[in-house]
Amino acid sequence: MFGIGPLELVVIAIVAVLLFGPDRLPEFVRTAGRLLRQGRQLVNNAQNDLRNELGPEFADLDVRDLNPRSFVRKHLLDGIDDDFDDKPVSSMADTPERLPAGQRPPYDPEST
């Protein structure tokens, strides 16, 4: 949960009790819960409005897919791994032969 461990959660609870006091702490927790619930409702309404406005073609739209990192991973990089899964590396035609130890690779002065 937010990268917070159990020890950090206990420290936050102790600081909250000291900061707000035991009398006002339940009211503060209720207010924080209400704000969190309203925030979730706002996000869900925005997602539903977006889906309704885009039409039935985008009914399965996930807002997380609009993140550029996940978009690139999903649409560009997913097919790359599948190309090499069919055949073992040793049978690939593009694999060069290994040179014996101590032998220098061929050199073409016109290529550089």
pLDDT band at 39 (very low <50, low <70, confident <90, very high): very high
pLDDT at 55: 81
pLDDT band at 81 (very low <50, low <70, confident <90, very high): low
pLDDT at 31: 93
pLDDT at 5: 87
pLDDT at 54: 82
**What pLDDT, in 10s, does the model give residues 7-27?**
998 898 888 888 888 888 889
Q: Tell me which residue has tokens 């409005």.
A: 49
**What is the distance between the alpha carbons of residues 26 and 16, in angstroms, rounded to a whole number?**
11
Residue 73 predicted with pLDDT over 70: yes
Contact between residue 51 and residue 61 where contact means Cβ atoms under 8 Å apart: yes
pLDDT at 65: 73
The chain-wide mean pLDDT, for the chain, equals 79
